[in-house]
Amino acid sequence: MTDSWATLPSSAVPGADLHLDLGTLSGPGLRVSLIGALRDAVRTGRLAPGSRLPSSRSLGADLGIARNTVAQAYSELVAEGWLTARQGAGTRVAERAPEKAAALPPGPRPAATRGPRHDLRPGRPDLSAFPRAQWLRAARRALGRAPDDAFGSGAPAGRAELREALAGYLARARGVRARPEQVVVTSGVGHGITLLARALTRRGTGTVAVEAYGLEIHRRLLVEAGLRTVPLPVDADGADVAALDAMPDVGAVLLTPSHQFPTGVALHPDRRAAAVRWARRTGGLVLEDDYDGEFRYDRHPVGAVQGLAPDQVCYLGTTSKSLAPGLRLGWAVLPPALAADVAREKGEIDWTTGVTDQLTLAELITSGVYDRHVRTMRARYRRRRDQLVEALARDSPLARVTGMNAGLHVLVELPAGDESAVAQGAAWQDLAVHGLARFRHPDAPADRDALVVGYATPSPSAWSGALEALCRLLP
Amino acid sequence: MTDSWATLPSSAVPGADLHLDLGTLSGPGLRVSLIGALRDAVRTGRLAPGSRLPSSRSLGADLGIARNTVAQAYSELVAEGWLTARQGAGTRVAERAPEKAAALPPGPRPAATRGPRHDLRPGRPDLSAFPRAQWLRAARRALGRAPDDAFGSGAPAGRAELREALAGYLARARGVRARPEQVVVTSGVGHGITLLARALTRRGTGTVAVEAYGLEIHRRLLVEAGLRTVPLPVDADGADVAALDAMPDVGAVLLTPSHQFPTGVALHPDRRAAAVRWARRTGGLVLEDDYDGEFRYDRHPVGAVQGLAPDQVCYLGTTSKSLAPGLRLGWAVLPPALAADVAREKGEIDWTTGVTDQLTLAELITSGVYDRHVRTMRARYRRRRDQLVEALARDSPLARVTGMNAGLHVLVELPAGDESAVAQGAAWQDLAVHGLARFRHPDAPADRDALVVGYATPSPSAWSGALEALCRLLP
């Protein structure tokens, strides 16, 4: 079977290409083949209803067949009702809906998805606040002046413009100490953890300590890379770093020092120093997940642990909270000894972080727009935090709110044993909220009942309804 | 040690945040701490030369310390030369270059990279042709009307807008038969191969047949996933599909049917049918890499094998050649039975393909701009192909050019034994070109000598120089 392919000017898509299966291109079979091919294209919807076909002269020229042959094929299909021909309007596909091709098996219909009415799940920002206009302006400036080779395969560590902008921004805003060469562009914290997990196994690490409460996907990524995870207890001062001394097999520890996820406490300064001492003493690595470090509401902000020990700490960050999860854009700042290895690892196997978004984020940062956006959102989320704390104090005095000094979520502690009942009650109210249990390490004791309430999630119009639903829910 | 953090209006970055380590916040130590913190910030470059510091009143308010304390700290640093103070211009960081912090170990300097003077390596398009203005216009339209939830984490299979646009485009332009639900957005063919490799190992496949000549990275991805690869001989009709009958362990075959990479031949129609029969008989999968399927220059274009057997063929494509490698944007069209699994696999472990580029490509396709761009480039690359063939026929009659009917590269066959000498000669001319050897499967016989010449790579201004260098090189 020989295929031919012609360019059909289509009213829907000017200049579109159309591919036709014409079978053997010779003799009387040709007209029949053309009829069959056009009919098939209409029937399966590849030629859309109402779209205009080329003149018989030009389609004939494209396919290398006589004009008359095409004209006859068109007439036949008009007679069959697949095409219409009107003086001055050319030959067009008829408006009736084509049958679907029988050969394609019926597939599963996509599940109807209607989100919950109220959404207070943690881990996402207010999507309506994504700064579209500023993003587009930055994209225009960035793409306008990028060199041609920016659109090539590029270095696995990412675009130099972005690595430099990130090094400067993180130094200024988070106390991170690193040169651009230590920055690897990632598609988020999870991606960074995956890259580091591979580096750790290559170094011979077998076990990673993780906080007793944390994202299950992060634990899973470590395990998928062949590592074991052991939980560190978490209390009001954060992860119990001293427990590492009794874990000689542990080669790395994954922490959320600025705002423990999900309990919300800051890692006590003594423990930050202890983590660094542990790493220096044992040669272990600290993996610092700074997922919401820009969002701090009190007077005593917490800089990155990385600034205390650039040689021992891998600092992971993301635009998932400050801009939007959909960008899939983050960074890893690595000890100099690791940076080249991790970049190479990324380049061999991962293809992430398209260049357009990298250039745009770099421009957003260097122009100051990113900083201003973060400040705006910080103020907005602080107001929500205040409204939440106030509403709960007023309406649900039994619920104790903690971890409120930063980030986009709080922990609402519940009376012992109440968590699953409250979660069930939430489902009845069509309120999506997460209990603490889903974040607990499988080997950690169930030592408290709580809800993890993400107050950034609702759009401005949905906020008060969500807050009311939460207050109705809690004792 | 307590950290404080203030917002410094900076002339370089208005509204920027600055993080200061202030130590113990009390008593006479405070001024000393502030001096030390500011000095450190200047010395390490975190405060850029020339940038403006806030007034002593506003910094004091931010930090919760007395205005006079700040003023004294400023005066001290002016005296030391780190800051300057001019009437009406406020307090600024001095222009002299700060020392780098001693604690950061000197890292490796990035290697100076100057590309080759002439670049005819295959696998890339003319980067200067990336349609920046049209891309930005499409981005503006797409981002302007996207729903808020487009910026959320999203479905692993990718944005619905893009999956629908791709299903329509591929049906029309390549004869692919699939519903949008069968489309998974990827970051390119390699990513698709990685996802399918995992699916294959889950199905119990142990061995994948690959063409004797092909991209080494693709073979490596299969091997990294735990699969073995065996080579199929490649001749003037493409891969010797009949050889599969003697390979009962093979559960899948990776082909480039439209334009064999790198030999450039099209898979003979009989062999396309044979591949489909093999898959239906054995339950095996055909992996179709259609990396440059839109670029066909002769009258008999080749549609996708997928159109013959949507249940048995996984169709992989990319914007790497039609737009730019830097986009990291491609697609996999899967048999219905596989589509859900592969999408799930992608979502659990991969974070790729940011939403902005997905929405933009969908808009580019549905508006017809993508089609028009491909047509423009097709004509442009055809002209280059013609110039190349003509030049070689004139200047290097011993070099036989094949595989020229499509794509962005040709195979230039050389007298037996000449390949490595010619490759060496290329290096002397500062001409980057690839010999066939690097694409050969390790278990395949070395049966010919040739260069793989990518004629799309040079920018318009570099083209004639590259062509001349190639002609000088060849016997």
Q: Which residues share a beta bridge with A285?
A: A252
pLDDT of residue A13: 45
Residues A247 and A172 in one domain: yes
In this structure, is the dihedral angle defined by the CA atoms of residues B140, A126, A128 and B142, taken in order, positive or negative? positive
Q: Which residues share a beta bridge with A215?
A: none
Residue of higher predicted confidence among B403 and B84: B403
* A88–chain B nearest CA distance, Å: 24
Residues A87 and A144 in one domain: no
User: Does the reported pTM lie above 0.90?
Assistant: no
Judge whether B109 lies within some domain.
Answer: no
Residues B208 and B88 in one domain: no
* Boundary (domain end) residue, out of A368, A395, A416: A368
Beta-strand runs (E) in B227-370? 228-232, 234-235, 238-239, 250-255, 285-289, 313-318, 330-333
B391 pLDDT more than 80: yes
What is the average pLDDT across A11-23? Answer: 56
Lowest-pLDDT range of A113-122, A384-393, B25-34, B175-184: B25-34
With a CB cutoff of 8 Å and minimum separation 6, the contacts of B366 are A13, B165, B168
**pLDDT > 90 in chain A, percent:** 62
**B354–A328: do the CB atoms touch at under 8 Å?**
yes
**Residue from A163, A270, A276, A351 to probe the interface with B (highest B Cβ count within 10 Å):** A351
Judge whether A344 lies within some domain.
Answer: yes
**Integer Cα distance of A91 and A22 in angstroms:** 20
B110 pLDDT more than 60: no
A447 pLDDT more than 80: yes
Beta-strand runs (E) in B3-101? 3-8, 16-21, 83-86, 90-93
Query: For helices B355-366 and B132-145, what crossing angle results, to 10°?
Result: 110
**Integer Cα distance of B324 and B328 in angstroms:** 8
pLDDT of residue B80: 65
What is the average pLDDT across B349-358? Answer: 81
- Give the model's confidence band at B2: pLDDT under 50 very low, under 70 low, under 90 confident, else very high: very low
Residues A80 and A198 in one domain: no
**Integer Cα distance of B46 and A347 in angstroms:** 30
Q: Measuring CA to CA, how many Å separate B77 from each of A30, A78, A435, B49, B83? A: 89, 88, 51, 14, 6
pLDDT of residue A104: 41
**Integer Cα distance of B364 and A269 in angstroms:** 51
Structure tokens at A267: 């890692």
What is the average pLDDT across B115-137? Answer: 94
**Integer Cα distance of B272 and B288 in angstroms:** 11
pLDDT of residue A84: 79
Q: How many Cβ atoms are within 10 Å of B231's Cβ, its own excluded?
A: 21
With a CB cutoff of 8 Å and minimum separation 6, the contacts of A56 are A67, A68, A70, A71, A74, A91
Lowest-pLDDT range of A22-36, B92-106, B173-187: B92-106
**B175–A148: do the CB atoms touch at under 8 Å?**
no
DSSP for A186-212, written as a single string: ESSHHHHHHHHHHHHHHTT--EEEEES
What is the average pLDDT across A286-290? Answer: 97
What CATH number is given to the structural domain containing B293? 3.40.640.10
What is the average pLDDT across B243-255? Answer: 97
- The amino acid at A316: L
HSE value, Cβ hemisphere, 13 Å, CA-based, for B343: 23
Residues B164 and B238 in one domain: yes
Judge whether B139 lies within some domain.
Answer: yes
Residues B221 and B305 in one domain: yes
**Integer Cα distance of A342 and B148 in angstroms:** 34
Could you say which DSSP state residue A242 is in?
Answer: G
Residue of higher predicted confidence among A216 and B64: A216
Residue tagged 């290409």 (tokens): A17
With a CB cutoff of 8 Å and minimum separation 6, the contacts of B119 are B431, B432, B457, B458, B462, B466
Residues A359 and A376 in one domain: no
Q: Which residues share a beta bridge with A5?
A: A19
Judge whether A55 lies within some domain.
Answer: yes
Residue of higher predicted confidence among B318 and B296: B318
What CATH number is given to the structural domain containing B400? 3.90.1150.10
Q: How many Cβ atoms are within 10 Å of B214's Cβ, its own excluded?
A: 26
Task: Tell me the ipTM for this assembly.
Answer: 0.79
Judge whether A348 lies within some domain.
Answer: yes
* Boundary (domain end) residue, out of A368, A384, A408: A368
B36 pLDDT more than 80: no
**A357–B357: do the CB atoms touch at under 8 Å?**
yes
- Give the model's confidence band at A6: pLDDT under 50 very low, under 70 low, under 90 confident, else very high: low
Please answer whether residues A313 and A286 qualify as being in contact, where contact means their C-beta atoms are separated by less than 8 angstroms. yes
What is the average pLDDT across B429-434? Answer: 92
* A90–chain B nearest CA distance, Å: 20
Q: How many Cβ atoms are within 10 Å of B293's Cβ, its own excluded?
A: 29
**Integer Cα distance of B264 and B287 in angstroms:** 18
Where b means 16+ CB within 10 Å and e means fewer, A372-390 reads bbbeebbeebbebbeebee
Residues B339 and B376 in one domain: no
Structure tokens at A236: 């009001």
Residues B258 and B135 in one domain: yes
Report cis status (omega within 30 of 0) of the bond before B125.
Answer: no
Tell me the pLDDT tens digit for each residue of A58-99.
787 777 778 888 888 887 777 666 787 776 777 888 775 434
Q: Measuring CA to CA, how many Å separate A206 from each of A245, A254, A283, B272? A: 16, 14, 14, 48
Q: Which residues of chain A does B375 touch, with a Cβ-Cβ cutoff of 8 Å?
A: 7, 15, 17
Judge whether A427 lies within some domain.
Answer: yes
Domain that holds residue B151: 130-368
pLDDT of residue B81: 66
**B352–A351: do the CB atoms touch at under 8 Å?**
yes
- Give the model's confidence band at B350: pLDDT under 50 very low, under 70 low, under 90 confident, else very high: low
- Give the model's confidence band at B21: pLDDT under 50 very low, under 70 low, under 90 confident, else very high: low
**Integer Cα distance of A16 and A11 in angstroms:** 9
φ, ψ for residue B453 (rounded to 5)?
-105, 115
Contact status of B226 with chain A (Cβ, < 8 Å) = no
Lowest-pLDDT range of A78-82, A242-246, A342-346, B387-391: A78-82
* B450–chain A nearest CA distance, Å: 25
Residues A138 and A277 in one domain: yes
Residue tagged 């590269």 (tokens): B409
* B18–chain A nearest CA distance, Å: 5
Lowest-pLDDT range of A107-121, A159-173, A289-303, A440-454: A107-121
Average pLDDT, chain A: 86
Residue of higher predicted confidence among A301 and A323: A323
Among B128, B310, B354, the residue with its CB nearest the CB of A326 is B354
**pLDDT > 70 in chain A, percent:** 87
Residues A299 and A363 in one domain: yes
B6 pLDDT more than 70: no
Residue tagged 């990632």 (tokens): A186
Structure tokens at B158: 């990718």
Contact status of B33 with chain A (Cβ, < 8 Å) = no
A26 pLDDT more than 70: no
Contact status of B4 with chain A (Cβ, < 8 Å) = yes
Please answer whether residues A118 and A465 qualify as being in contact, where contact means their C-beta atoms are separated by less than 8 angstroms. yes
Please answer whether residues B41 and A397 qualify as being in contact, where contact means their C-beta atoms are separated by less than 8 angstroms. no
Residue of higher predicted confidence among B475 and B189: B189
Judge whether B99 lies within some domain.
Answer: no
In B132-151, the residues whose Cβ lies within 8 Å of chain A are 132, 135-136, 139-140, 143-144, 146, 148-151
Which parts of A367-459 fold into alpha helices (H)?
Answer: 369-395, 419-428
From the CA atom positions of chain A, what is the Rg in Å?
29
CA angle at B414 for the pair B408 and B420, rounded to the nearest 5°: 95
In this structure, is the dihedral angle defined by the CA atoms of residues B194, B195, B196 and B201, taken in order, positive or negative? positive
Residues A84 and A154 in one domain: no
Tell me the pLDDT tens digit for each residue of B358-384.
999 999 999 999 999 999 999 999 999
Specify the number of domains making up chain A. 3
**Integer Cα distance of A165 and B81 in angstroms:** 27
**B130–A148: do the CB atoms touch at under 8 Å?**
yes
Contact status of A17 with chain B (Cβ, < 8 Å) = yes
**How many helices and strands (H and E) does chain A possess?**
13, 19
Contact status of A171 with chain B (Cβ, < 8 Å) = yes
Question: Hey, is A272 helix, strand or coil?
Answer: helix
With a CB cutoff of 8 Å and minimum separation 6, the contacts of B20 are B3, B4, B5, B6, B34, B37, B38, B41, B63
What CATH number is given to the structural domain containing B14? 1.10.10.10
Helix (H) or strand (E) holding A454: strand A450-454
- Give the model's confidence band at A359: pLDDT under 50 very low, under 70 low, under 90 confident, else very high: very high
**Integer Cα distance of A432 and B411 in angstroms:** 59
B199 pLDDT more than 50: yes
Structure tokens at B388: 């190349």
φ, ψ for residue A200 (rounded to 5)?
-65, -45
- Give the model's confidence band at B16: pLDDT under 50 very low, under 70 low, under 90 confident, else very high: low
Contact status of B9 with chain A (Cβ, < 8 Å) = no
* Boundary (domain end) residue, out of B334, B368, B402: B368
**pLDDT > 70 in chain B, percent:** 87
**Integer Cα distance of A119 and A454 in angstroms:** 8
B4 pLDDT more than 70: no
pLDDT of residue B113: 60
What is the average pLDDT across A291-299? Answer: 84
Among A3, A127, A328, the residue with its CB nearest the CB of B301 is A3
pLDDT of residue A47: 76
Judge whether B417 lies within some domain.
Answer: yes
Question: Hey, is B349 helix, strand or coil?
Answer: helix
Tell me the pLDDT tens digit for each residue of A169-210.
999 999 999 999 999 999 999 999 999 999 999 989 999 999
β-pairing verdict for B431-432 and A431-432 = unpaired
What is the average pLDDT across A416-433? Answer: 90
pLDDT of residue B394: 93
Among B17, B177, B326, the residue with its CB nearest the CB of A150 is B326
What is the average pLDDT across A447-459? Answer: 94
pLDDT of residue A133: 98
Span between the terminal Cα atoms of chain A, in Å: 72
Three-state SS string over A148-179 comes to HHHHCCCCCCCCHHHHHHHHHHHHHHHCCCCC
What is the average pLDDT across B66-89? Answer: 76
Residue tagged 């917490």 (tokens): A302
Q: Is A128 exposed, middle or buried (0-12, 13-18, 19+ CB in 10 A)?
A: middle
Lowest-pLDDT range of A74-78, A345-349, B11-15, B406-410: B11-15
Average pLDDT, chain B: 86
- The amino acid at A70: V
What is the average pLDDT across A303-327? Answer: 96
